[in-house]
């Protein structure tokens, strides 16, 4: 049974990886080659300058999907087996990831408009909450590999609050300063470390208290 | 020979997974970013409102392809080996899956038109029948893993009548209430459980009769 | 060394599978949703009727790429190891496969024009010759699995003349009856069997003569 | 722990392969089917002639991404384990690869314009430097398989200077002869061999000196 389950887990992982990889690569097809009236340097540099919000959107979403994938990679690497209950949260997370090229293109089309920014930050918030839900279900006791320390499991679970926090901040800021709010997303990499460290410390304290 | 066949089965599974993953992710490129005259909130909310049938089509087809993939995942996880005879039904099923982004975009372009709804439900019906054919051929005696109970094999086979049934209902309803007929597709998740339970009960009764 | 090489062969196979799967699924994005003036049934059926060459092109190329993948799958399943010399023929074959969505869309845009048919049949001819070259290099003595009978290796090699033969016939016929020439491609499935059987018979005769 | 890490390395490799495969196959969607006024042969040959820079761009970028993949394949085949430190250089390299379809389409749209050529060569330069950085980090002592000779590790590292060198030459030449500068990229396959041979010779000399 165990080898069957590990191969089924592998296939679920594989399918997820493929969706992440396709969504991350499809981002570029929303960056359109400019039509220029003449081919001199100044015209081209200006045309490329007008693409800056598309290029920024490509880079930002590439990094966000990349981080979502890396977190998925880290957590699924802790699993020995899997619960059928992760299938739906995983599929919904993938749906949000597949939606990202649209949300990115919408945001890039008018970088100072409020609604596209709300949609973009909202998509990240939904992705973050689904990721948190997925990791909570996936990291339950019987499914985690025996050699993974308990505090690392807690850290991985706490860590996944980083994206929802940053997305919420960005969503609120989008209301007041659309376009600029995206810069709050750089906080993700800081927040995930902070939450992971807090979770690890909490778990170790609980373990120490239980041992005492 | 056995390790060779299992690696060939793995590669067939892998290729199928990739097609499922690409088709499911390509759905988003049929949702087009709206061109707006001004960037105020009201204009944008209205523009997004006009996208509702595209967004609904994206979500519906994502779930349908997701369910087709999950069923494929479940059934292929029961196999120890495979018959060359599954190659063609599998390829034709994948062709139908690859066709889904077109059928979805066609349906979403005019959500109240009858013909696009017929094409969409018809595509699901063809997919359902091909899936049923594939599973029937794949789950024949010598290919199933020894540790899979016989009643689970029957359940998996009966289960695959869920999609054709729902698609047929949706196809008929499309004639009378185009657009609304899609809501019949939520019956899929109910029907597959019903058929699976009926198949399991039938198989156990036959086993009991044979044992008596 | 052996386990390293088999894992490298697996990765080459995987990369090839991914390109086949992406090209086969991308075919659908060249089938465009029709813009209709009214949404009544007659208008829609006519609009879909005008798509018939696009839909035919999608189905034809799906089957051709599917057959190329199945042949790749069959031959690579015979290998225990691989020569560095297959890297380039394999990459060029993949380039031709990646080119197929363009060749298909070109052909479908004007199904009675001669040049698009020549380009399409020419692409298949190049793919067939590259496949033949790849299989000839890949199936050399030290790389084939020990449990594969010699006559099956010869059959696999001869078999790969089926596509170049059918593509050549289609290329010649495109000159005289553009559009109709594609029906010659159904000969592929007949020709590959014929060549495979001839190759098997030849190999067995040579073995018998050597044994006598 | 070791089997866990090797499976995590496998998944990172898999994700990378998928991005390479998608980017290389997406190149074709930037080659657009020409709209022709009449379907006679002369009109079509001329229309295809006007596509020559798109087709050239497709072929060139296919080979460049193919070479990047092959180098990735070669180097990752030397690893037994991996450092977390490769995650970011790898993701940034993949971002550059995903950017290639845009850079290619930009260059092909006006093959004699200078800025698109600078962007294209600049993209290759960034890809080359990131690849060099990735291989330098990945090939550090504890992560390389024990059966890989030290001089091959050095050769692989030196080899990765081939693309940055050729891209720099192409970048400079783009300034003076836009369009023609791409022909300098054929030097890549020559330069990588040269650097690899020099690296191998250097490593063997150092080993000999250390042994003496």
With cut-offs at 50, 70 and 90, classify the pLDDT of residue C212.
low
C-beta separation of B37 from A35 below 8 A: no
- If you ran DSSP here, which 8-state letter would residue C145 be given? -
* Mean pLDDT, chain A, integer: 92
| pLDDT single digits (tens) A101-147 | 999 999 999 888 999 999 999 999 999 999 999 999 999 878 899 99
| pLDDT single digits (tens) C124-159 | 999 999 999 999 999 987 889 989 999 999 999 999
Nearest CB to C4 within list D29, D63, D145: D145
Cα–Cα distance measured from residue B144 to residue B135, given in angstroms and rounded to the nearest whole number:
11
What is the rounded average pLDDT of the residues C79-83?
A: 85
| pLDDT single digits (tens) B5-47 | 677 888 899 999 999 999 999 999 999 999 898 889 999 999 9
C-beta separation of A42 from A25 below 8 A: no
Cα–Cα distance measured from residue A163 to residue A69, given in angstroms and rounded to the nearest whole number:
13
What is the rounded average pLDDT of the residues A164-192?
A: 92
Distance of CA A152 to the CA centre of its chain: 20
C-beta separation of A59 from A136 below 8 A: no
Q: With a cut of 60, say whether residue A2 has pLDDT above it.
A: no
Which residue's structure tokens are 């600049």?
Answer: D122
The Cα of B68 is separated from the nearest Cα of chain A by a number of Å equal to 12
CB within 8 Å: C36 and B4 = no
DSSP element (H, E) containing B98: helix B87-109
CB within 8 Å: A98 and B28 = yes
Closest Cα partner for D91 from D6, D173, D144, D12? D12
Closest Cα partner for B19 from A183, A141, C28? C28
Nearest CB to C109 within list D21, D33, D59: D33
Q: Which chains touch C (3 or more CB pairs under 8 A)?
A: B, D
Count of CB contacts below 8 A, B vs C?
80
Q: With a cut of 80, say whether residue A7 has pLDDT above it.
A: no
| pLDDT single digits (tens) C166-210 | 999 999 999 999 988 988 998 898 999 999 999 999 999 999 998
* 3-class DSSP state of D71: helix
| pLDDT single digits (tens) B70-81 | 999 999 989 988
Q: Locate the chain A residue with the closest alpha carbon to D90.
A: A66
Degrees, nearest 5: CA angle C57-C58-C61: 80
Residues of chain B contacting residue C34, judged by C-beta atoms under 8 Å apart? 106
pLDDT at C4: 58
Other beta carbons less than 10 A from residue A141's beta carbon = 7
Residue of B13, B25, B156 best to disrupt the A interface, most CBs of A under 10 A: B25
C-beta separation of A103 from A169 below 8 A: no
pLDDT at C83: 81
Q: With a cut of 80, say whether residue D59 has pLDDT above it.
A: yes
Q: With a cut of 50, say whether residue D2 has pLDDT above it.
A: no
The Cα of C99 is separated from the nearest Cα of chain D by a number of Å equal to 6
- If you ran DSSP here, which 8-state letter would residue A144 be given? B
pLDDT at A126: 98
What is the rounded average pLDDT of the residues B128-147?
A: 92
With cut-offs at 50, 70 and 90, classify the pLDDT of residue B1.
very low
Distances (CA, A) of A186 to A129, A166, C62: 18, 8, 43
Nearest CB to B101 within list C21, C22, C28: C28
Other beta carbons less than 10 A from residue C189's beta carbon = 13
Q: Locate the chain A residue with the closest alpha carbon to B78.
A: A4
The Cα of D120 is separated from the nearest Cα of chain A by a number of Å equal to 13
CB within 8 Å: D17 and C11 = yes
In degrees rounded to 5, what are phi and psi of residue A62?
A: -60, -45
Cα–Cα distance measured from residue D167 to residue D184, given in angstroms and rounded to the nearest whole number:
8
With cut-offs at 50, 70 and 90, classify the pLDDT of residue C45.
very high
pLDDT at D1: 36
Cα–Cα distance measured from residue B75 to residue B143, given in angstroms and rounded to the nearest whole number:
11
What is the rounded average pLDDT of the residues D56-81?
A: 94
Residues of chain B contacting residue A22, judged by C-beta atoms under 8 Å apart? 21-22, 25-26
Q: Say what the ipTM of the complex is.
A: 0.92
With cut-offs at 50, 70 and 90, classify the pLDDT of residue A14.
very high
Residue of C11, C12, C29 best to disrupt the D interface, most CBs of D under 10 A: C11
pLDDT at A4: 59
With cut-offs at 50, 70 and 90, classify the pLDDT of residue C1.
very low
CB within 8 Å: C39 and B112 = yes
User: Rg of the Cα trace of chain A?
Assistant: 20
Q: Give me the residues paired with residue D79 across strands.
A: D144
Residues 24-43 of B with CB under 8 A from C: 26, 29-30
CB within 8 Å: D41 and C115 = yes
* Mean pLDDT, chain B, integer: 92
pLDDT at B211: 80
* 3-class DSSP state of A203: helix
The Cα of B22 is separated from the nearest Cα of chain C by a number of Å equal to 7
Residues 89-148 of C with CB under 8 A from B: 145, 147
The two tokens of residue B78 are 């029961």
Q: What is the largest CA-CA distance in chain A?
A: 77
Q: Is B189 on the interface with C (CB under 8 A)?
A: no
Q: With a cut of 80, say whether residue A1 has pLDDT above it.
A: no
């Amino acid at each position: 049974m165990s080898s069957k389950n590990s191969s089924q887990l592998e296939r679920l992982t594989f399918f997820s990886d493929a969706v992440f990889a396709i969504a991350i690569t499809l981002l570029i097809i929303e960056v359109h080659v400019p039509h220029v009236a003449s081919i001199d340097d100044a015209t081209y540099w200006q045309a490329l300058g007008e693409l800056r919000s598309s290029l920024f959107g490509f880079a930002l979403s590439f990094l966000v999907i990349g981080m979502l994938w890396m977190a998925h990679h880290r957590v699924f690497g802790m699993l020995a087996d899997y619960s059928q209950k992760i299938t739906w949260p995983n599929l919904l997370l993938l749906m949000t990831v597949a939606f990202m090229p649209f949300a990115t293109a919408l945001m890039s089309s008018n970088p100072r408009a409020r609604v596209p920014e709300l949609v973009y930050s909202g998509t990240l918030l939904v992705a973050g909450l689904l990721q948190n839900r997925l990791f909570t279900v996936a990291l339950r006791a019987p499914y985690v590999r025996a050699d993974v320390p308990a505090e690392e499991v807690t850290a991985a679970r706490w860590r996944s609050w980083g994206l929802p926090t940053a997305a919420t901040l960005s969503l609120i800021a989008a209301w007041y300063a659309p376009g600029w709010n995206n810069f709050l997303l750089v906080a993700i990499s800081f927040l995930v470390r902070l939450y992971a460290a807090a979770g690890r410390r909490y778990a170790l304290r609980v373990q120490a208290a239980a041992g005492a």
